[in-house]
Amino acid sequence: MKKVPHRLYLTEDQMPKQWYNLRADMPEQPDPMLNPATLKPATEEDLYPVFCKELAHQEMDAETRYIDIPEEIQEMYKIYRPSPLIRAYNLEKALGTPAKIYYKFEGNNTSGSHKLNSAIAQAYYAKKQGLTCLTTETGAGQWGTALAEACAYFGLDLTVFMVKVSYNQKPFRKAVMQTFDANVIASPSDTTNAGRQILAADPNTGGSLGCAISEAIEKAMTTEGCRYVLGSVLNQVLLHQSIIGLESKIAMEMLDEYPDIIIGCAGGGSNLGGLIAPFMQDKLTGKADPRIVAVEPASCPSLTRGKYVYDFCDTGKVTPLARMYTLGSGFMPSPNHAGGLRYHGMSPILSKLYHDGYMEAVSVEQTKVFEAATYFAKYETILPAPESAHAIRAAIDEAIRCKETGETKTILFGLTGTGYFDMTAYQAYHDGQMNDYIPSDADLQKGFDGLPKVD
């Protein structure tokens, strides 16, 4: 066993030069996306009005196992990567667990999260195609900030539709995005047909990622030289985010370690899909058999209580249909503070893997998440984002189980980002004002009732 430092950073030479495409090793592929007009499988060309060509290609490419990361993207990755693999010595000690806890920390950049990994790639390909502007949605604001950074760097205009509840809870997120010259609009807004329809139905809605997606797509499709980009859910995003898992695996190999359990928070699946990619490859190819655990909020439990069916990716029902675990695109999550996890669906790749038994899922309640976040902050001196703290909660629970059983398991979790813009939520937790909302079966049924009929 090698001496394990608190923080391990790869050198630039050790950084991955290729992304890993998990689909190439899946024994069964996720079901194809369907064109909502024809209900036939969508083609790459069907996606061109929405995505730039290279990204449409990556979205459909299930064969190419390794895809070269363009030099320009590698160069920008080097500005903030590699991210550290951290051994949580202090947390282990505080818990008194025999488990070894590692976490991959993606918060050391101004977007405050892993989202920058895909934002850079998507902005790069758009610029390369000669486009001049992008639109997107953002929940917690991390994706919007990441994309604003990437667009500022590559010189693209950007309009961000920000889920209204996050827009109000995180007043300074807007200012950060504006620092990078983004145009930020609270969603639902009166600037799109999709937004106006949702507002007409419920003027007081806090919005949702699904709804903001509808607005961003509409804006992109009605603006010259503009395309839409998405920070999660999509196959292309999981591809770009594989950098997280690839770096983690190289670092763990340097330490002669291999995780018994890999844990990630799951909203749309971008972090989880990226973190687990090369470990899932081992599992799919029979080289190793780690447990892989998705953690979602009890308030928005797409994997643990959703249905594995075809659904729209957005509330406005303009996207292709994807087969995924979903609560129904009409499901409007409660104003849970983990804005980045308030999505009705789940990455089709992860949905398929979960459906086929390759991974587990747990849901956790908000106050238990903030309890873990606060505990973690004290011992590891990083203030986690509420989204990331879902994974912390599950990792702590696993470590406590190890304490009870005496097992020396190796746990790896993804710490996706920092909580500097989530202090309203932390304050609510400190003040005992935080509620745990768990949707009833009847609440969920309303979402299911709106599912599209696909035979």
Closest to a copy of itself by CB, 42 vs 385, is: 385
CA distances (Å), 259 to each of 265, 336, 347, 413, 423, in order? Answer: 17, 31, 23, 9, 32
Please tell me the number of Cα atoms within 13 Å of 1 on its side-chain side. 6
Closest to a copy of itself by CB, 186 vs 383, is: 383
| H/E stretch holding 18 | strand 18-20
Closest to a copy of itself by CB, 61 vs 157, is: 157
Type of residue numbered 293: V
DSSP 341: G
Closest to a copy of itself by CB, 287 vs 378, is: 378
CB of 306 to a copy of itself, least distance (A): 33
CB of 138 to a copy of itself, least distance (A): 16
Among residues 196, 237, 207, 186, which one has the least CA distance to residue 59?
Answer: 237
Closest to a copy of itself by CB, 314 vs 380, is: 380
Give me the helix-helix angle, 270-284 and 235-254, nearest 10°: 60
**Helix, strand, coil percent values for the chain (each to nearest 5):** 45, 15, 40
Interface with a copy of itself by CB under 8 A: which residues? Answer: 5-7, 9, 11-12, 78-80, 90, 108-112, 116, 149, 152-153, 171-172, 175-176, 178-180, 374, 377-383, 418, 420-421, 423-424, 426-427, 430
Among residues 316, 306, 248, which one has the least CA distance to residue 282?
Answer: 248
Q: Rounded to whole angstroms, how far apart are CA atoms 184 and 186?
A: 7
CB of 237 to a copy of itself, least distance (A): 19
CB of 378 to a copy of itself, least distance (A): 5
Closest to a copy of itself by CB, 302 vs 388, is: 388
CB of 119 to a copy of itself, least distance (A): 10
CB of 351 to a copy of itself, least distance (A): 32
CA distances (Å), 127 to each of 110, 122, 131, 237, 259, in order? Answer: 22, 9, 5, 17, 38
DSSP 384: B
Closest to a copy of itself by CB, 72 vs 443, is: 72
DSSP 293: E
Closest to a copy of itself by CB, 51 vs 376, is: 376
CB of 340 to a copy of itself, least distance (A): 17
CB of 251 to a copy of itself, least distance (A): 13
Q: Rounded to whole angstroms, how far apart are CA atoms 79 and 327?
A: 38
